[in-house]
Structure 1
Amino acid sequence: MQKFILSMFFIAAFCFTLSAANPIKGLLERIAPGASSKFVIEQNASDSDYFELDQKGDKVVVRGNNYVSIATGINWYLKYHVGIHLSWNGMTAKLPSTLPPVLQKERHETTMQYRYDLNYCTYSYTMAFWDWERWQKEIDWMALHGINLPLAITGTDVVWFNVLKRLGYTKEEINEFIAGPGFQAWWLMNNLEGWGGPNPDSWYTQQADLQKKILKRMREFGIEPVLPGYSGMVPHNAKEKLGLDVKPGLWCSYNRPAFLLPTDPRFGEIASIYYEEMDKLYGKANYYSMDPFHEGSAAGVDLPAAGHAIMDQMKKNHPDAKWVVMAWGYNPYPKMIKDLKKGDLIVLDLFSESTPRWGDPDFDGGAEGKRPNGFEGHDWLYCMLLNYGGNVGLHGKMQHLIESYYRAKSYPVFGKDMKGVGLTMEGSENNPVMFELLTELPWRSEKFDKNTWLDNYTEARYGKDCKEIKEAWNILSNSIYNAPKSLRQQGTHESVFCARPSLNAYQVSSWSGMKDYYEPNEVIKAAKLMVSVSDQFKGNNNFEYDLVDIVRQAIAEKGRLLLKVVRAAHEAGERNLYNDLSKQFLNLILLQDELLSTRSEFKIGTWIAQARNKGYTQAEKDLYEWNARVQITTWGNRAAAEQGGLWDYAHREWSGLLKDVYYVRWKTFFEKGVNEKVDYYALDEAWTKKTNSYSVGSSDDCVEVVKKIYEIVFED
């Protein structure tokens, strides 16, 4: 009897431990307090990832083979059975007192083993100043969208601080190497050193603590973090300081970190130190990200030796780990990966929707894009880049994304090596429809109709059917979200408001590659339809976000069209008309600013508040705000901005920025005259040094403001 009681005690204790460790309950409670009591969660072993929706009495059953699959099933149920869409603009919901029953068991499974998330750039363009509260929502978003393999680079600067300290660098020298909060992505990608710093001691402490929380939550869900591994990066002065055989270089006028040649006898020593410090802080990972020669030259490097040296050091640290590498430009060089063991490398085909490197014979990508052997038989993931620089704007290849994914998956030569999908955007929290589509692809075994999917998406996103909304989204899906297959432009059709002023202004950033591929009036027509039903959806968070975003895009289109008329008036010598039209253009920028002030997602105040909240002292807050302001305007110092071409790469059509930066530029341009040279870098730099406050939060009268502004712009 005593043994029976004891055994029952251990069983009960084990069950309690399982329950306490189960992250699904916490996820449901964060979505809506009390939500966990409305579901029955079941976990069953399976050879492939799957989820099922079922019913037991008055409770909905969600079963799956692991926590990520179960979370994906919860999200699917909420979208397609309840009409609740959880997105970056809203991760909470009000559930009905009794959930709609699942009338017939529904099962979805996937052969796509990996669902990857994040680009190094995302960590700077979107996540640079996130706290744990915001990260917790993001990890929930990942789980709900089936992500099981995200990049996790927070706190890597602490690893490097410890490594360089062991190598004899002083604290001051280390801080000259490590970039500031707004620029760490490009430091870790071996592009630059030190810009945005030096970082205070408190930065390293809080980032290490934050990364430990991030990794703990990811691992609770069974999400496998991809930690940065070692591929040869050392400070550019490592030859003088450490006597190493290195390759220094420049990137956009910055000193880039040097590449320690794999044949150097100290390569293994430094790699070992790096992994020791990484393991001490964050534990071993099963996946490591390494991208040698990113946007740089590999001339003179023994590529096969480099590949083996990088792989060998990773395996020495963790024999079962896999190397995750980005396919970008010439990387990964075929010679570097050709002879590596299959199954040990995962290639992220970073921009699959526009520049597929996986071996697609229909893609003519020039010398760097020609890969007749694909990725040399290694596993690869179909990835969507979509957004560059965190720029604001509607954009996508909706129909092509569907077609190209299933084509790649079933391709006779390279399809067998395709092991999943990836979100590799440079900036997130935009274009939710495209990210929703990509994350659903692995769970849909057969190609499906875009229009049917979109109708279901709008019902899920707004909670009910609406003819005008469906028509609006149909128009958008066949225009601005229907970029042609061959188009390789870097993200959205950039708003002319954000451009450096000229009567011929077209693109904003240096490498946009924009081309006119849709009719602007189609976007304006869609905006009109959204405005026409706005009173019916007042207070609907998802609708109000999309309403503002679509009307914003329509006003940007109006601005582009108006600028052409301004130019025509100038060329015709119609001075009075030119002056009147110039004032109209400037007023349009101010109206856009007012429109965007209604939503926190489109306000400069939100970005700056995140930055300042990371600081403990006034000096720290000011440093982080300067990082935040510089990144989205000049990006770099004068040489990097002007000669390097980085100015406005990360421009944002945001309230506050429109009024205090872009409006000031255009007003100066019109006042001085089209032939007068203006130092726009100096104008922007003056703004980056300010610390004036901006409002945060969304407006309760969002719909009324949108209607008023729409009427002024399009109906007066």
Structure 2
Amino acid sequence: MKRICLGLCMLICLSAKSSPVYELLERIDPGASQKFKIELSEGEPDFFELDQAGEKVVVRGNNYVSIATGINWYLKYYAGIHLSWNGMQAKLPAVLPPVKEKERREASLKYRYDFNYCTYSYSMAFWDWERWERELDWMAMHGINMALALTGMEVVWHNVLQQLGYTAEEIGQFIAGPGFLAWWHMNNLEGWGGPNPESWYERQMQLQHRILNRMREYGIEPVFPGYAGMLPHNASEKLGIEVKDPGLWCGYQRPAFLYPENPAFKRIAGLYYMEMEKRFGKAKFYGMDPFHEGGNVQGIDLAAAAQSVLQAMKTANPEAVWVMQAWQANPRHEMITALQPGNVLILDLSSENRPMWGDKESVWYREKGFEGQDWLYCMLLNFGGNVGMYGRMDRVINGFYAAVQHPNGASLRGVGKTMEGIENNPVMYELLLELPWRKIPFTKEEWLKGYVKARYGKDDPRLQQAWQILGKAAYNCPVVQEGTTESVFCARPAEEISGASSWGTSELYYAPEESKKVAALFLEVSEQYKGNNNFEYDLTDIMRQALADKGNVLQKKITEAYRLKDETAFRNLSREFLQLILWQDTLLATRPEFRLGTWLERAKAKGETEEEKRLYEWNARVQITTWGNRQAADKGGLRDYSHREWAGLLKDFYYPRWKAYFDLLEKRLAGEETEDIDWYAFEEPWTLKNKVYASAPEGNIIDVAPLVFREVFGQ
């Protein structure tokens, strides 16, 4: 009996030593795995425990994600080490701070979900395995155990369409390019950004295999895109089957919708799931959002359609669950009430702004929420990958605990981050993903104290003061708006700017002096934090915000001077504004996260030939500027939707645009008759260029920030 027990213990130890968690620790800091003792232990719900065994910190949990979450909790709140998108490596102390009293935390809810379809285009369109590996580590350490998995899924469609008789040229006209695949997946458009070369499909499929292998090693459940009736819009002529035309989306032709009651639906769905399983295996979850953002549903029996979609999915995997996004009219009442609870999981996509779960204050209030279907409390936060400090901390915290206590909370199953773009505002994601592990409600003021200490490695009074200001200003948005207050630097010039994008806003909800005040507090202690990666990133971001806020105020003064026909004031203020853009460019050039070159170089690296590199670079350039063709950019409202406050883009795209506008107004002040600028014609040539933008940082923010602050604010 003793030999059996000893053998079992050795097997458990061997299994733990070869676990992905030890490999994760080695990527954080080579040798770090020797400082921890990892223990897998059965139990429900998900939990982690922090304990001590000699000089080693013990982290035990019921699965690898729970253990990775425990390691992250230890690093933040015991060792003062915060790993984030701006840095997933750190030097750990030779001897780790001890856990003096065992700490146990349990997740109050089952799921922690990751990604919006849009994230795959606005942030991840051109990621390689190295970048994906860092993200997967971040996900595990933040408790993510369920994530949308879209990479390479276009190969499934490529092969299904081949089997249906489509030619390579026709397939290329249907599947979107790398920068726009998200909206193709969501049935919004066809072909824009393509056609993709054959090498794209093979490389993305190989990348997805690596991603899925790591997800499965950690125990993260992938959410595959399911089949809900999408076909090329010419399917009637090509395949001889009746399909519905859902209309246009922002000027683009939507794919056709195959009626689920049509016998062809079952056949094509079968081909789709068979091809997916062949390439990527089965999934427990499949995401589908028929009629996303206004698709025409006239004449469709929505209840019957839902049952047919579910049946096709269940035929592929009887245990599968249908994941839906709650956005605008979706999920349709008729569809979710036609399905038995347990078969559906709904992402309340913007619980912090427009919740549907039953919050009476919401503009999308639904009295019965999701009709008893399982759902997740999600935070959308970011639109278009736009840069800017923004959040609704109080709303996120209070809304979550209110949802838990609400009658509709009986079917609440977890939280989700459903942002359109990532790699910004790390504080908000830390907050959201800690909620399930904190059973007792708390205030943002309390939480920020711990965050600041973890973020910078020590409890600094100046930085504590700075973040309390941010908590009441940038991270306390009192109104519903689509993401950050948008910098007017990135807006198409006009006398009055409502927002840089069609659906965003440039109206500040806090006094602009607040961001300047925070920047000054950071600068007071900046020399002490030289080399501290988190501090340097945050200093760059808060300085960027202070300059953007000043620009928003200055633009209104320029308009006032122009309308008063004060030529001197107009000339001086417009020159100050243009110089502000250049200072912003200089400031942001110090960090790779804020450089255009980082985005473009990743895009080009995906190409094997010069032709492929040009295609991918064009996708990357178009997405962040015009977004689409003239119809979609201007009449569809998509221009500047994905604007980015980045070094390189500020200097070579936004600056010339504003200068051309100010030159026009100056001529008009002088009495000249001039035509309005055709902005699309002005912008499109930049998308076709191939100027190289470096990704390596220029200068150090600790040196650059004080100089810029003095020049801009005179202090």
TM range (shorter): over 0.9
Alignment equivalent of 1:463, drawn from 451, 457, 460: 457
Shift of 1:571: 2.1
Give the Cα separation in 2 of the matches to 1:396 and 1:10.
52
2:609 equivalent to 1:614: no
Alignment equivalent of 2:490, drawn from 484, 498, 501: 498
Shift of 1:700: 5.2
Tell me what 1:229 maps to. 226
Shift of 1:680: 1.5
TM-score (norm 2): 0.97
Tell me what 2:512 maps to. 520
Spell out, residue by residue over 1:496-539, the C-alpha distance to the aligned partner (whole angstroms, 9 max, x if none).
00011112123110011554421111111111111111111111
2:90 equivalent to 1:93: yes
Shift of 1:11: 6.3
Give the Cα separation in 1 of the matches to 2:587 and 2:335.
51
Give the Cα separation in 2 of the matches to 1:370 and 1:394.
27
Give the Cα separation in 1 of the matches to 2:553 and 2:59.
51
Tell me what 2:29 maps to. 32
- Contact residue 357 and residue 369 of structure 2 kept, 8 A: yes
Give the Cα separation in 2 of the matches to 1:475 and 1:375.
37
Secondary structure of 2:346's counterpart equals: strand
Per mean C-alpha deviation after superposition, the further-off stretch among 472-481 and 693-702 is: 693-702
Tell me what 1:407 maps to. 402
Give the Cα separation in 2 of the matches to 1:93 and 1:700.
22
Shift of 1:18: 2.3
- Contact residue 385 and residue 423 of structure 1 kept, 8 A: yes
Per mean C-alpha deviation after superposition, the further-off stretch among 119-128 and 338-347 is: 338-347
Tell me what 1:706 maps to. 705
Spell out, residue by residue over 1:524-577, the C-alpha distance to the aligned partner (whole angstroms, 9 max, x if none).
111111111111111110000000000100000111111122122222222122
Tell me what 2:541 maps to. 549
Tell me what 2:471 maps to. 477
Give the Cα separation in 2 of the matches to 1:553 and 1:514.
13
Count of aligned pairs between the two proteins? 706
Tell me what 1:652 maps to. 644
Give the Cα separation in 1 of the matches to 2:552 and 2:349.
31
2:255 equivalent to 1:263: no
Tell me what 1:355 maps to. 354
Shift of 1:297: 2.2
2:657 equivalent to 1:665: yes
Tell me what 1:175 maps to. 172
Instruction: For 2:35, give the aligned amino acid.
Output: K
Give the Cα separation in 2 of the matches to 1:527 and 1:9.
59
- Contact residue 186 and residue 192 of structure 1 kept, 8 A: yes
Give the Cα separation in 2 of the matches to 1:488 and 1:710.
31
- Contact residue 21 and residue 220 of structure 1 kept, 8 A: no
Give the Cα separation in 1 of the matches to 2:2 and 2:65.
36
Give the Cα separation in 2 of the matches to 1:532 and 1:431.
22
Spell out, residue by residue over 1:28-51, the C-alpha distance to the aligned partner (whole angstroms, 9 max, x if none).
000100000000111111120000
- Contact residue 357 and residue 365 of structure 2 kept, 8 A: no
Spell out, residue by residue over 1:677-711, the C-alpha distance to the aligned partner (whole angstroms, 9 max, x if none).
11111121100000110111234522101111111
Secondary structure of 1:82's counterpart equals: coil
2:292 equivalent to 1:286: no
List gaps (5 residues or longer) in structure 2. Answer: 669-673
Tell me what 1:149 maps to. 146
Secondary structure of 2:255's counterpart equals: strand
Shift of 1:613: 0.5
Secondary structure of 2:298's counterpart equals: coil
- Contact residue 51 and residue 72 of structure 1 kept, 8 A: yes
Alignment of 1:30-179 (within 5 A): 30-179=27-176
2:334 equivalent to 1:335: yes
- Contact residue 490 and residue 514 of structure 1 kept, 8 A: no
Spell out, residue by residue over 1:163-191, the C-alpha distance to the aligned partner (whole angstroms, 9 max, x if none).
00000100110010000000000000000
Moved >3 Å (runs of 4+): 7-17, 513-516
Alignment of 1:298-697 (within 5 A): 298-363=297-362, 365=363, 369-411=364-406, 413-484=407-478, 487-513=479-505, 515-673=507-665, 676-697=675-696
Instruction: For 2:398, give the aligned amino acid.
Output: E
List gaps (5 residues or longer) in structure 1. Answer: none
Shift of 1:446: 1.1
Secondary structure of 1:667's counterpart equals: helix
- Contact residue 16 and residue 38 of structure 2 kept, 8 A: no
Per mean C-alpha deviation after superposition, the further-off stretch among 235-244 and 112-121 is: 235-244
Spell out, residue by residue over 1:200-245, the C-alpha distance to the aligned partner (whole angstroms, 9 max, x if none).
1110000000000000000000110101111111111111111222
Give the Cα separation in 2 of the matches to 1:351 and 1:471.
30
Shift of 1:354: 0.6
Give the Cα separation in 1 of the matches to 2:306 and 2:215.
29
Give the Cα separation in 1 of the matches to 2:6 and 2:548.
66
Instruction: For 2:89, give the aligned amino acid.
Output: T
- Contact residue 488 and residue 513 of structure 1 kept, 8 A: no
- Contact residue 140 and residue 218 of structure 2 kept, 8 A: yes
Secondary structure of 1:414's counterpart equals: helix
Per mean C-alpha deviation after superposition, the further-off stretch among 674-683 and 310-319 is: 674-683
Shift of 1:16: 7.9
Secondary structure of 1:54's counterpart equals: strand
TM-score (norm 1): 0.97
Instruction: For 1:428, give the aligned amino acid.
Output: I
Shift of 1:370: 4.0
Give the Cα separation in 2 of the matches to 1:654 and 1:21.
41
2:193 equivalent to 1:201: no
Give the Cα separation in 2 of the matches to 1:300 and 1:470.
58
Spell out, residue by residue over 1:392-430, the C-alpha distance to the aligned partner (whole angstroms, 9 max, x if none).
00000011111111001111x201111100000000000
Give the Cα separation in 2 of the matches to 1:462 and 1:31.
17
What's the Cα RMSD here? 1.6
Give the Cα separation in 2 of the matches to 1:643 and 1:38.
59
Give the Cα separation in 2 of the matches to 1:103 and 1:699.
44
Shift of 1:9: 12
Call closer, same or farther: CA 1:39–1:10 in 2, change over 3 Å. Answer: closer
